[in-house]
Each structure stands twice: as structure tokens, then as C-alpha cells.
Structure 1
Amino acid sequence: MARGKVLAICQSGGEFVIGRDGSMSYSGGEAHAVEVTSDMKLNDFKAEISCMFNCRADTFIIKYFLPSNRKTLITISNDKDLQRMVDFSASSNTTDVYILKKVEHRTSRSVVADSGTPADAPAATLVTVDDTKRRKLCHTGWENMLNSVGQVFDGPKAFRDALHKYAIANSFTYKFIKNDGVRVTAECSAENCPWRVHASKSPAKQEFTIKKMNNIHTCRREIGKGHRLASQRWVASVIKEKLREAPNYKPREIANDLNREYGLNMKYAQAWRGKFVAKKELRNPHEEARNQLPWYCERIMETNPGSVATLQTTEDLKCHIFVSFHASLSGFEHGCRPLLFLDGICLKANKHWKLLVATAVDGESNFFPVSFSVAESETFEQWHWFLLQLKSALTMSRTVTFVSNKQNGLENAVARVFEDSYHAYCVHQLTEDFNQQVDNSLTQESKNTVLDAFQRSIYACKAEEFNECIETIKVESKGLAEWVLSTKPEFWSNAFFKGLRYGQYSSKSVETFNSWISPKYEPSVMQMIDIIRCKMMELMYTRRKSLESWSEVLTPSAKQRVEEEMTKAQGLNVICTSSSVFEVHDHLINVVNMETWECTCRRWQVGGLPCAHALAVIEQNHGFVYDYTSKYFTTEFFRLTYSLSINPIPDAGKPACSDIVDLAASCPPRIRRMVGRPKLKPADPRITIKRAVRCGKCQGYGHNKQTCKAPF
């Protein structure tokens, strides 16, 4: 092309996007080529563009890039600017020219342009990073979310959401007069303002409809007044889609965009928390688990040899994991009673997952975690898989007694996997079920009577004692007694249960695990497992250290129970019938067999510790109590329970979990100020330096001149 000429590629209808390095690229729209000479007038150039794009010359502006700079757009506003563009682009023979619509400057959302078009109507074609966010944030039509009487909504929730957006867009706050599943009435929170709306469910069509609406405000509505409605959840709903496209969307940018779009003067911390909620909602917990858990399972088995960490992925791409540390398995098999409590736990810290746990009790009757599983739901299939993994993890073959709430077919799952085991019902859950069956027509005294009788029926060791309790219940309520008999007492009463529970009838695992996993943010699956591991590691170390002060053969709690029974044994009459069989007389005659460790009261067999009748025989024969006590109550077995340690798992910087770690670290816990005057924090005595009191009269230390006793 001859010197002084350039081929201008005129583009319109697209948008600019700014890259990370600040350079801009243009996409979309249509393009036409125009030959521009150095002596061409700007009006002639605009006339050709007007014909090409069918628009008026006064509705657009012309911009272009310099050949070596795509970060700054140059505006052509006169003939000299057009000549410079030709001169600058002479070496390349072509140049890109961008036809952009003029943008009206707005002072507030309520300003209307001279042409009658609302000032907040979208007009700009140039899209920067800020404009991209704005386009995503701008929900046009919020000012008209509530129109008039007769407008229909899907339900009360949909109406409340529309009301929320309507109030924010129109810069006012409201309060509910009535708010339930059938009707919603709200009015402007400003005093004496008549604005009011009432919506309710139509009896005929069952539609939620606006029945009354006074759409007149006499209050002074100011920009930013609706900031109290901009909750964390609302902010999250507005920015969620933008955050999905731009994960590095900063809280300060969020606050600025909300201020520009809705006039909300939002604090940095509010935008920060809104982003945190949005990120949490955008997370896919199952995808996170599939990315994180394979690596973590390998690390568990690598750092804790002998441990079991099994991950299973289902056909619908969901997964569940089973974890049992070697220290827990060894402690259960060598030191704990053959008793396992099965619980399904709904975690307060993470609603997406359920925790299935198997726990035991040590010689002090303390909670001892054996294994756990994280699953998306608590079903029969999940429990069956959990029990299969538990059976393969246990190396010693002994008959185990399971205690559970019989939820989700757990009773059948235990019978299938552990065929020779015993299954008992948790008495805590059973007592709650009993309380629900108690008739409200009974007096409080009668309720106390039947509850006490039911409790005694649980711990009754003989059938005669159990039947007496049932008769007591039947006197107050025959139907209640029939319900108790229908709950299969052979699974919960000592009088009929065939297995051994050693005096343990319910578990505290639900409270313990929920207290363990109580962070201020919602943890991922891997974080939950690691929190449990850390707590278990600390628990085993603490209890192992407590052994250093023990000098008795029995554990402290077992020793105390034996001493209490020894007090009852004082004064009992013992008659020897053979070398190993004795009669013990109190208000009844009980037969004690020292070889088989049995007493006709059955408390020795049920609890594992000698009853008062057996202790009377042992004392008369000058025997040792420890020789007739279950080994699970000895200090030696307590030491075996906690002989091994759970090893730490060093952080290897797994990339898959870096986002979640960053999310947790970037959002510190929200601290709410407590009611009342803050308490003074006591000084640390290790670093406090106290100044000695010196008397101003005698110059002595330890007193002042008011208490000085020295002569004047």
C-alpha cells in the first residue's frame, strides 16, 4: 500500500478482555475494512462507519492500539488524531479500529437520561476486568421483582427471596409481621412508612400469590440503606458464578462491585466472609475426597505400619473410606474387653458426611476408638462394608459383643459378617424410646415409677427380678408393659442376654467425636480424618502417661468397685459345702462356685468383678481378690491397651488439598463479642514482675506509710 495510507479493520459489537499481563484482546462482533489516507477528515471516516454499521455518527467513539502497545486504547477525537493513526500504522499497512458506543456518566441509580432511557441501562461495549465482574454481578430487574397484586410465586421461600432482592435494589429495609409456610406479611421498617406487602397461599390453586401491596414509600430511602440485608448468604449468591470463573476474585473487589451495583457500603470483612461462604458452596465434597484420600491412605499405611486405610469409590463417583490405626487394633485385641459399640454420627462440623465408628472401653471404662469410616450416608450397605473391613482388620479370633441402636438394618449386618457374635441394644436409645411410649395421662409419680422399673429391668440379672419390674409397670400401664416385652428383652436385659457386656450398656462416641471435630470452618474429609488422628494420638499418649502413678494390680475404678462390694460382704454368713462350692446367706441364699467364677445372683458373671457373695468367700478362705477378677480390669491390660503410639503424618504438600488448606487459612474463625463487660485476662505469673512495696516513712519494704508501725 502507498505511503500515507492504511487499511483500517473496523470492529464493533464485541468486547475487550484484559489478560493477566494487562494486554487487551477483542472478541466477537463484526468487522469491515476501510481505506484511510493521511488527508482524510474524521467526519468522512465516521460517515463511512455509520453506513457500514447502520448507526448515527454521534452515538459512537473510535479507538485503536499503537503497534507496540495493546494495553492502552487511543481515542480519535479530531482530524489530527486520525492522521497520527495513519502515520503510526504505516509500517504495518493495517490497523485494528474499534467502534464503541458512548457511555453516559451516572451519579446515582435513580438518575434518568434526557432521552428517557434509564441511566443504569447497559451501554458500554468496552469490557475490562471490573466490567466483567459487574456484568456477572448485575441482576437486572431486581427493582421490579415485586410488581403488583396477583403476582404468583412458587412458594413462601421464593417470595421471601424476591422480597430480599427487591428491598436491596430499592434501598430500604423491611420487617416481617407474619412469616410462616402459609402467609408472609412485611412492611417497611421506617417509622410511619405505609409500604406493605402481603402474600399467602391460594386455597383453590395452592399458589403463593400477592394479595395486598401498598407500593408507596414516604420514608427517605438512601443509597446503601439496605446494607443490613446483605448477609453472607446473599453476598455468596450474588458472587458465586463470578467466583466460579475467577477464583482469585478479591474481597476488596467484591466490596467495590457491590457498592457500585447496589450502593452497599460493605466492609472488607463482610465481603471476605461472603466469598468464604460462596467458595464453600461451590466445593464438591465428593470430588475433593476422590482427589485427596488416595494420597492420604498411602501416607497412613506408610507412617503407621500395620494400619488399615481402605478407600472405595461407587459407580456414581461417590466414595467412602475405612481407617483403623495399628495402635488401636493392637490395643483393642490385647487390652480391651471383647466389646464394640457401633454408632452412626451426624457431624456438626460437616453436614455432607456421616461418621461410622466402632469404639471399645478400656480397663477404666473409658472410650477407646478402634476404627471409623467416613461415608456420604448411613445405610445398610455402608454398615455392611464397614463391618467387612473391620473383620479383615482384626487378627485375633474371639467372640465379640456388639452394642448399637439397631439403626439402618445394623442388626442384620452384624449377624451376616460376625456370625458367632452377640448383639445388644444401646440402653440409652432404648430409654428414649420408652419415654416416648409413656402415656401423658399418667401422673408424674406414675411416670417416675414406670421409668424406675424399666431401668431396673435392664440391669436385672435374674428372670425373677425382671418379671417383678414388668409387673410394676403393668400396674401403672398394661400397654406399656406389653411394649417392653415386644422390644426383645433378650437383646438388652442382663437377665436374658447371652453375651458379655462387662457392665457397659451405651457409648459416648457421638459426643466425643463431635467435640473433637469442632473447628470454626467446615473441614474436608481429609481434614476430618487428620483431626481424629491427632486427637487419638494425644489421647493415647495422655493415658499412657497416667499409668506412671499406678501401683495397684487393678485399675483405680475397678479397685473402687471391689471395695464397695467388700463393704457389702461384711457380716455375710458363709457355709462351705465342698472345696469349691459355698453357700452365702444374706436375705437370700446364694451359691458361689469358685472354680467356675459363678454366683446364683449372676452379678459376678455379668460384670466381670466378684460380687459381695464371692468376696465373702474369698475373705473367709484368705484368698486374693485379683485371682478372681477379669483380666480386662487389671493395670497390666490397661498398659497393653496403650502400649503402642499413633505416629504423626508429615505434611508432604499434596497439591490436591492445597486449595482447601488455603481456604481454611484465609478465613479465620468469626469471633463474636460476648455479652457483658470483658473479663480481665490474668497476667502470666511466669513473666509478671512485681515491684516490692516500700514505705515512704521508714523506707522499709513490705508495707506502706499508712500501715507503718515505726515510731515517728
Structure 2
Amino acid sequence: MGKGQIVAVLQLGGEFTTDADGHMSYSGGEAHAMLVKSDWTFDAFKHEISSTLNNLKIDQFLFKYFLPKNNKTLISISNDKDLLRMVEFHAESETTYIYVMKKVDNRAKGVVADSGTPVETTAVVPTTEDGSKRQKVCATWKNVITGVGQVFEGPKDFRDALHKYAIAHRFHYRFVKNDSSRVTAECTGEDCPWRIHASKSPAKQDFMIKKISESHTCESETVKSHRLASQRWVASVIKEKLRDSPNYRPRDIANDLQQEYGLCLNYSQAWRGRSIAQKQLYSSHDEACNQLPWFCERIKETNPGSVATVVTMEDSKFCFFVAFHASLHGFEHGCRPLIFLDAVSAKPNKQWKLLAATSVDGEGDVFPVAFTVVDEESRENWHWFLEQLKSSLLASRDITFISNGENGLWDEVPLVFPESHHGYCVDFLIEEFKMQLEDAWIEEVRDAMVELCKKAIYSCTADEFNQHIEEIRSESDKLAEWLLEIKPERWSDAFFKGSRHGQYSSNIYNTIADWIPTRYELSVVQLVDTIRCKLMELMYTRRESSNEWTEVLTPAANQKLQEEVSKSHTLNVTPTESDGQGSVFKVCDDSVNVVNIDTCDCTCRKWHVSGLPCMHAVAVFERTGQYAYDYCLKYFTTECYRLTYSISINPIPDVILPPVTLTNPSQSPATYPCPIRTRRRVGRPKEKPADPRITIKRAVRCSRCKGYGHNKATCKIPITEALPLAELSDVQN
């Protein structure tokens, strides 16, 4: 066979069977032969399949194949890179089998993905020839989870499979860990040891079951009392049918669930599930079509220069992008070219996701740049968000992105920002590293391995990196190889080409989660405006606090520089004549380092990595009488910090919000109507509920300096420094 192409046998219309060892075999259907070339795009590949199969509607099908000598797990072909990998993997094979499989819809995307084995997803198994009773759907769910090594396309698919598995086996479970990188669940039965854990490894883009207990020791419950048939689960099951049949009655819903799933629900349970499904189907989409376009215009009117865009789809999905002018201006003029990408659940509206792009200011604090509200975190939504972000940025410059790399971000970021660098979020990487540790290790050994991993991450030179990897290898060769497989150039300072300047992760998830109220169901407009209020207050507070700073650098950066100064006093500095200009020096401590003050570089590479002079450079400055502050990146200066927060976010009138008390003086006090209350959570409330009978107090304002938070009697500003009335508008904004 010619180089760069393979012979493929297209299999269509057959079915898979799995033996006791998990090996899969395909039988039935029809077969067609075609050539597949390595330089084809995925679209060209689909077009050729369509032509070979008599103009088959190819968008309704999935494409799978087995790796050589592995017939346990089907591999998906969904983009150009997947296609190229398949051709490379089978370059030495005589023929390659490609399975063309019918899509069932998003509920049964796992027609193969849930377990690697095709699962029947129709509502009812047909009656057999001998007239025996048809099989319930939940009976097919008993094998939806097969064991360790089973691969899923993501945590959502795994959670869906786990839910089906629990219903089929009649047990309850609770989540111990549940996020985008790992899911751990355990049986709620008394003293039952059953437990399952699945996670996503950075080296492999599959979500895989890593551990699962062999059996339960608890007694199975009756199907009638099964609590897993929650209102939201019922809504997810009937939502698509409700879309096609708006008059789908609760009594019919209860009957269908009894026949198809073997679950007994009363009328009120079916009615509540139907209500939730209606809300998910129509409320968000209606708002996206009617209110969000109006809200976009209000954002741009009240905050000129801001970007607000909404796109609606026919399947009740939408994407709503917002980037306020103050955020864009602050990022361009005050923040380092560093953006963190993360997804946040819009609690309690768990059907929505916030895709956020954030940077960091000179103090290392989170600085939100832009965000979008979407129905789910997917590769397509990330691509759309990145395109909107790129068109919103005021100036073009090379940007370093940090993320967990999930949902196609490793491919989408360089596609939209071709000149950028992309690295791992260190917190995510360390959590993944912990998942690879041996269970048999004692806690001291596990902690030591984690510390060595951190040292490898923060190593500035290749020699330091290799030393720490070898220390890990002395304990576990497998662990060291795992770290090397996930590309150190994406996470270690010794090889990373981007500019992180000492910032490795972002706390945006917890920040936004704290901003969103959990006691109220917010609409998308209310959700976005709640975030706007918090941003407005954050910018005002940080701007006011920076007015008291007197140093050239921000407090955090100045402290780091002073630490380097204290370490530089014992170093020996020797000029060299190699450059003829007196800009290169040798600095001796435990080793010899060369500092070039013209290129702002030191052989220890800490100056380059952090953006602040290292102790060797500081020693040179003391020897030559130069000012260390002149050699710090501008992003750490107080001037840049003030530029970051120099523009305010303005209020948007006419938006209905839950009752809140704003401490930002730039917004007039107001009481907003309260939206629909959600169900009260178990336990003591963290905050007392707002009493509508108590009016919100007006902020105290000084009549002498025109500031807020104190009065004339407690004012500490001298009369000569009191702000003139002409500057009052700047304070208020």
C-alpha cells in the first residue's frame, strides 16, 4: 500500500457482541471498500464515505474503529486529528475496519460511548416471536458499566451511565467527588463498601473508570421506592418527547415510565418532572429570543465599548457572550498577556455553564475579562467563545492561555489564537497526579511524591527538572513516565514557552460561585447582571485601595522583590569583559550564574520565568548602583495596577434582581423584586434571609472630602487634601 494511505472496509448495519473477556466482534450488515489518505480532512473523509455508501446522510452517523491488536475499545473519528491518527496507527495493516454507526441523539450518544459496547437505546424491546413479555429498558442498563478500563467521552456520560446502572441494580449512591476531571461515588447502603472512581488523565483525553468495587453487601431496594427517579431525572427522560408532544400528560408519563423503566411514580411526581422539563425547554430559550437581545443593547448603551452578543438555535440552545469595556481596557493596559479558561456551574441553574476568561492583576488577584452563558461545556461552545473573545480584544498581542485542556481546548486555542501558548492549570495537573499515586503508599510517601511533582513544575532549568523526575522515578518508574507523557513543555517552567510570570492557576471558579446566590432561581439576565454588580464593586474597591500605595511596585510584587534583595547580600559579583560593554556579570553562590542586564536574563532563568529580577540580578544592581525597579515588568507596577481598574462598570437600569445590599457607592441604593424562591436546603442557613420590612440604608458620605464610609467628624484627610468638587464624579464612577 502506498505511503500515507490505507485500505478501509466500511461496515454498516451489523451489530456487536461482547464475550466474557470484553472482546468485541461484529456480525451482519454490509461491507464496502475505500481508500483513506492521510492528507484528507475529516469533511473529505465523510464525503468519500457518503459517496461510497450511495449518498448516505452522513451527519446522522458516527465513525469508529479498533486499534491494532485491540478489539475491546472502539475509538471515535470526529475531527482531522482523529483521522490522521487512525491512518498512522494502521499504516502497517493490510485492511482497516471502520464501523459506520447510527446516531440516536444526545441521550444515547453512548450508543457506543458509554461502555464501548453498543447499547440498545430504544424505549422498549420488541415482543419475542413466542409472545413473551417485552423487556424493560432498565434491564439493558445492568451492563452499562462493565469495569475498570471502560472509557467514556466525558464526566457527563459517565454520570449518566452510573445513574442507569444504579436504577438497573436498585441501589442508591452519593458523590464523594464530582467535577470536570474526576467523579467518585459510593453506595449509601449501611456498611456497604461499593465504590467507583473515574477520572480524566491529561495524557489521554478519555474519561476512564480507574477503580470499582466487586459487589454490594447491602440489600437491594424495591423499584417502587427508588429515589434515583428524581424530578430532574424524570425531566431529562421525557424532555425530548415533551418537545414533540407538548400535551404529554402526567398520567401518560407515569404509565410510560412504568412500562419502559419499571419505575412506579405517582401523578404529582410525574407532574413535577414535566414542569421542570417545560422550564428547561422553553423558559431559557424564550428568554434568549426575547430578553437577551434587549439586554445586549442595554449593556452597550450604558457601558460604551462593551461587547454583548447572543446566538439562539432551534433546539432550545443559546450562547450569550459579555465583555465589559472596563474589563477589556483593564486587560489590555494593566494585565499581563495571560488568560485562564475555566467553566463554572451557574448554581442552582445547573443546566447552564459559565465559560470564563480571566487574567490576573499586579497583585495576582483574579481579573475577569469576558464570560459567556451556554447550555453545556462543549468543544463547539468553547470555539464560539474563543472567537468572540478574539474579536473583542482591543489590541493584538501574543497571549498565554492556561486551562485543563478538556473539551477540545488543546486544539481550539491554537486554532483561534495561532500565535499563542497554552499550558496546564497547575492545580488540575496536581490533582491528576494524585490520582496516579499507588494506594498502597503511606501518607508520607504520597506527600513526598506530590512535593517532587511541584518541584518539577517550578523548575526553571532542564537540569533541575531532570533531577526531580529521577527522584520520582526512583520510587515509581510508571509515575515518572506518566509525567513525561503529558508533555512537560505544557506545564514545567523549564520548558514552557509562554509567559506565566509566576501565575499558575486561577481561583475564578470559587470567586464566581460565591457571587451567584443559591437561594434564588435567576434568569440569564439576572445572572449576568448579578455578576456585573459584583464586578462593579470589585473594580471600585481595588481602585480605591491602590490610591493609598506609595511604592513603585504593588505590595505583593514588592514583597517578592525584597525577598530576593535579602538573599543577594552574600553573593559575589564579578564583571566580565566578554561583551566589551560591562553588561555581563558572574554571580557566585553555590554555583556560578551569568547575568546579562541588557537582555534581562540570568542563567538560573528565574528572572525570565517570574518577570521580577532574581537574587543574582539584584546583586549586580547593588554592585553597579542601578535601580532594581527599572528591571521589573511593567505589569507589577502600581501605575499598571491603577490602569487595570481606571475605568468603571456602569449600572444598567430596569433589570430585575433579587434583594441585595450593594456597598459600591457608584450605584444608588435600590430594592429589587425577588424572583421565585427555590427549595430550602438542608441544614442551618449560612446567612439570614433578607427582611423586606427593613429598608436598605444609604451609604455614609463625608461632607468634607466627599468620600464614603465615614462622616465629617471621623474624616482623617487634611482639609488641604480634600478632593475638589470637580473630581467628585470620578470617585462616584
TM > 0.5 fold call: yes
In the alignment of these two chains, the number of paired residues is 438
> Which residue number corresponds to residue 227 of structure 2?
none
For residues 511-555 of structure 1, the C-alpha deviation after alignment (integer angstroms, 9 at most, x for no partner) is 111111123122111111111111111110110110121111110
Report how far residue 153 of structure 1 moved: 7.9
Q: Contact conserved, 1:309 with 1:322, CA < 8 A, in 2? A: yes
* Corresponding residue number in structure 2 for 1:182: 169
- The 3 A distance-change label for structure 1 pair 282 and 357 is closer
Alignment partners' CA distance in 2, 1:407 and 1:675: 35
Match of 1:429 in 2: 428
Q: Does 1:401 align with 2:404?
A: no
Which one-letter code corresponds to 1:665 in the other structure?
Answer: P
TM-score normalised to the size of structure 1? 0.56
Deviates most, 644-653 or 606-615: 644-653
Q: Which residue of 2 aligns with 1:592?
A: 595
Question: One-letter code of the match for 2:413?
Answer: V
The 1-side partners of 2:591 and 2:479 are apart by 31
What is the aligned partner in structure 2 of residue 79 from structure 1?
none
Q: Which residue of 2 aligns with 1:459?
A: 458
Corresponding position of 2:652: 649
CA contact (8 A) 2:281 2:316 kept: no
Residue 621 of structure 2: aligned partner: 618
The change in CA–CA distance for 1:662 and 1:281 in structure 2 (over 3 A counts) is farther
Change beyond 3 A, Cα 1:232–1:384: closer
**Cα offset for 1:284?**
2.8
1:407 is paired with a residue of what secondary structure? coil
1:199-210 alignment, distance < 5 Å = none
1:367 match: 366
In the other structure, the counterpart of 1:35 is: none
Q: Give runs of aligned pairs for residues 667-686 of structure 1, distance below 5 A.
A: 667=677, 670=680, 674=684
In structure 2, what is the equivalent of residue 555 of structure 1? 554
The corresponding residue for 1:300 is: 299
Q: CA deviation at 1:401?
A: 0.5
1:608 aligns with 2:595: no
**Once the two structures are superposed, what CA deviation does each residue of 1:160-191 show, in whole Å capped at 9, x if it has no partner?**
xxxxxxxxxxxxxxxxxxx9753589xxxxxx
| SS of residue paired to 1:494 | coil
Shift, 1:570, TM fit? 1.4
1:101-180 paired onto structure 2 within 5 Å: none
Distance 1:356 1:420 in 2: 22
Measured in 1, the distance between the counterparts of 2:305 and 2:520 equals 32
Closer/same/farther in 2, CA of residues 415 and 668 from structure 1, 3 Å limit:
closer
1:629 aligns with 2:632: yes
Q: Go from structure 1 to structure 2 and tell me whether the alpha carbon gap of 1:307 and 1:430 turns closer, same or farther (over 3 Å shift).
A: same
Q: Is the 8 A contact 2:520 2:676 kept in 1?
A: no
Which residue identity is paired with 1:643? S
Question: Which structure would you say has the larger Rg?
Answer: 1
SS at match of 2:344: strand
Deviation at 1:493, TM superposition (A): 0.4
Report the CA distance between 1:396 and its aligned residue.
1.0
TM-score (norm. length: structure 2): 0.54
Are the structure 2 counterparts of residues 597 and 278 from structure 1 closer, same or farther at C-alpha, using a change threshold of 3 Å?
closer
Contact 2:319 2:373 in 1 (8 A): yes
TM-superposed CA distance for 1:232, in Å, is: 10
Moved over 4 A (4+): 150-156, 231-234, 273-283, 661-664
Equivalent pair of 1:289/1:526 in contact (CA under 8 Å): no
Partner of 1:516: 515
Amino acid at match of 1:322: F
Which sections of structure 2, spanning at least 5 residues, go unmatched?
1-132, 140-165, 173-219, 223-229, 236-241, 248-267, 658-670, 689-696, 698-733
Q: Whole-Å Cα distance in 2 between the matches of residues 212 and 647 of structure 1?
A: 56
Matches within 5 A, 1:285-364: 285-364=284-363
- Displacement of 1:277 after TM fit? 7.5
- 2:335–2:644 contact (8 Å) kept in structure 1: yes
After superposition, give the CA deviation of every residue in 1:296-335 in whole Å (9 maximum; x if it has no partner): 0010011111000011123435211111000000000000
Q: Is the 8 A contact 1:446 1:476 kept in 2?
A: no
Distance of aligned partners of 1:606 and 1:282 in 2 relative to their CA distance in 1, 3 Å threshold: closer
The partner residue of 2:675 within 659, 665, 681 is 665
SS where residue 297 of structure 1 aligns?
A: helix
Which position in structure 2 is the counterpart of 1:485? Answer: 484
Pairing 1:225-236 to 2, within 5 Å after superposition: none
In 1, the alpha carbon distance for the partners of 2:619 and 2:465 equals 26
Mapped to 1, the partners of 2:393 and 2:221 lie a distance apart of: 68
Equivalent residues of 2:342, 2:403 under 8 A apart: yes
Rounded to whole Å, the distance in 2 between the matches of 1:431 and 1:336 is 26
Q: In structure 2, do the counterparts of structure 1 residues 383 and 622 end up closer, same or farther at CA, with 3 Å as the change threshold?
A: same
SS at match of 1:553: coil
User: How far is the alpha carbon of 1:565 from its aligned partner?
Assistant: 1.0
Change (3 A) 1:233 1:599: closer
| Equivalence for 2:409 | 410
Gaps (5+ residues) in structure 1? Answer: 1-149, 157-178, 186-210, 214-230, 246-265, 267-272, 655-660, 679-685, 687-712
Report if aligned partners of 1:310, 1:323 keep a CA contact under 8 Å in 2: yes
Q: Aligned to 1:632, what secondary structure does the other structure show?
A: helix
What amino acid is the match of 2:508?
Answer: S
| Conserved? CA contact 1:276–1:667, under 8 Å | no
* CA distance in 2 between partners of 1:564 and 1:653 (Å): 49
SS of residue matched to 1:350: coil
Aligned to 2:583: 580
- Identity %, equivalent residues: 53
Q: How far, CA to CA, are the matches of 1:669 and 1:648 in structure 2? A: 30
Query: Equivalent residue for 1:472?
Result: 471
Report if the CA contact (8 A) 1:276-1:663 is conserved: no
Given that 1:537 and 1:647 are in contact with CA atoms closer than 8 Å, whether structure 2 keeps it comes out as yes
In structure 1, C-alpha distance between the alignment counterparts of 2:455 and 2:232, rounded to whole Å: 51
Q: Secondary structure at the match of 2:620?
A: helix
What SS does the aligned partner of 1:665 have? coil
Residues 359 and 369, structure 1, Cα contact 8 Å, conserved in 2: yes
Q: Give the letter for the 1:336 counterpart.
A: C
Quick one: structure 1 residues 312 and 467, their matched pair in 2 at CA, closer, same or farther if it must change by over 3 Å? same
Do the aligned residues in 2 keep the contact of 1:378 with 1:408 (CA within 8 Å)? yes
Contact 2:362 2:637 survives alignment (8 Å): yes
Distance change in 2, residues 1:574/1:673 (3 Å)? closer
Structure 1 residues 667 and 277: alpha-carbon distance in aligned structure 2, compared to 1, 3 A threshold: farther
* Residue 449 (structure 1) shift: 2.5
Q: Distance in 2 between matches of 1:501 and 1:517?
A: 29
Which residue does 1:195 correspond to in 2? none
Q: CA distance change for structure 1 residues 448 and 283 in 2, over 3 Å: closer, same or farther?
A: same
1:169-228 CA distance string (max 9 Å, x none) = xxxxxxxxxx9753589xxxxxxxxxxxxxxxxxxxxxxxxx999xxxxxxxxxxxxxxx
1:665 and 1:212 mapped to 2: Cα distance?
Answer: 38
TM superposition shift of 1:274:
12
Matching residue's letter, 1:182: H
